[in-house]
């Protein structure tokens, strides 16, 4: 069931990108991105960091920084799709899509690792109630939407777009599975700190980058941000 949430969020965002072109012209993508960015930031501070420090990892700060730098490196390939950027390039569309998929999939794979520990920590409540799981879902929905937009902008065939969505949708469940197979519990503080670094880069980019006109965020986006923080607090 937990895997279905992750896979379903990717397919929901991707299919919406395939069939509802008019949405890109509205304010709703930015509002949902703001909500997702706030939710990720809240999960980082209220869920992951407490677990990291509970494990008494002396190198927490180092691993957070490493995760932050890894995300900068991955966005060299993914073009910022993780936080909703949809840049089109005139040349080398094949190599660009491969690079985007590489950065996006490595990011999604790493995000899946903490899920194995959380599945045990919530075994009496079910991971389905975990704010981390829903944070990933809220994060993947706009990322899949952006991925499809990039693919359509480069005129890829529908079958190719669906293949990209399939691969992307399976990466976090694969990280979840790998975490269980490798018994990452002894290294969980470092892994969580790494994921916090990834999330901090994405969330702060979403929340603090200015609009093209360099104006402050709208009231609707501010409400979405506050709603994201409140929801994490209530479900942590």
Query: Residue ranges per domain, the chain?
Result: 2-16+48-221
Those residues with Cβ within 8 angstroms of residue 4's Cβ, 6 or more apart along the chain or in another chain: none
- Section 25-47 average pLDDT: 81
Residue holding tokens 């293949």? Answer: 163
**pLDDT at residue 1 greater than cutoff 80:** no
What pLDDT score does 235 carry? 75
d(CA 133, CA 135): 5
Please report the pLDDT score of residue 125 as a whole number.
47
Quote the tokens at residue 77: 């390939």
> How much of the chain exceeds pLDDT 90, in percent?
12
Q: How many C-beta neighbours within 10 Å does residue 17 have?
A: 25
Average pLDDT in the 60-69 region?
90
Between 108 and 212, residue with greater pLDDT: 108
Ranked by mean pLDDT, which of 17-21, 180-184, 230-234 comes out on top?
Answer: 230-234
Alpha carbons 224 and 7: distance in angstroms, whole number: 24
Cβ atoms of residues 196 and 67 within 8 Å: yes
| SS3 call for 160 | helix
Q: CA 184 from chain center: how many Å? A: 21
| Tokens describing residue 152 | 């359509």
At 164, list the tokens: 């990209």
CA atoms in the 13 A half-sphere facing the CB of 138: 30
Question: What's residue 195's pLDDT?
Answer: 87
What residues contact 104, with CB distance under 8 A and at least 6 apart?
74, 78, 81, 82, 143, 147, 168, 171
Q: Please name the residues in contact with 211: beta carbons below 8 A apart, sequence gap of 6 or more.
A: 217
CB 165 within 8 A of CB 148: yes
Tokens of 19: 């069939």
Provide the pLDDT for residue 167.
95
Mean of the pLDDT values across residues 1-16?
86
- At 126 the pLDDT is 47
Q: Taking the CA atoms of the chain, what radius of gyration do you get in angstroms?
A: 17
């Amino acid at each position: 069931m937990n895997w279905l949430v992750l896979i379903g969020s990717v397919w929901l965002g991707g299919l919406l990108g395939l069939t509802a072109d008019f949405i890109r012209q509205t304010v709703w993508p930015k509002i949902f991105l703001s909500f997702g960015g706030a939710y990720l930031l809240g999960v980082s501070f209220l869920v992951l960091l407490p677990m990291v420090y509970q494990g008494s990892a002396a190198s927490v700060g180092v691993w957070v920084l490493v995760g932050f730098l890894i995300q900068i490196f991955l966005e060299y390939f993914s073009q910022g799709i993780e936080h909703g950027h949809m840049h089109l390039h005139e040349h080398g569309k094949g190599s660009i899509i491969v690079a985007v998929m590489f950065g996006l999939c490595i990011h999604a794979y790493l995000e899946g690792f903490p899920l194995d520990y959380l599945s045990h920590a919530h075994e009496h409540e079910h991971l389905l109630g975990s704010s981390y799981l829903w944070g990933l879902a809220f994060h993947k929905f706009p990322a899949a939407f952006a991925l499809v937009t990039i693919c359509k902008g480069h005129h890829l065939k529908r079958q190719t777009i669906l293949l990209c969505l399939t691969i992307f949708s399976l990466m976090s469940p694969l990280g979840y599975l790998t975490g269980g197979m490798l018994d990452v519990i002894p290294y969980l503080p470092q892994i969580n700190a790494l994921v916090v670094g990834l999330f901090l880069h994405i969330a702060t980019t979403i929340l603090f980058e200015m609009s093209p006109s360099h104006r402050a965020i709208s009231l609707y986006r501010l409400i979405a941000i506050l709603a994201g923080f409140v929801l994490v607090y209530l479900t942590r």
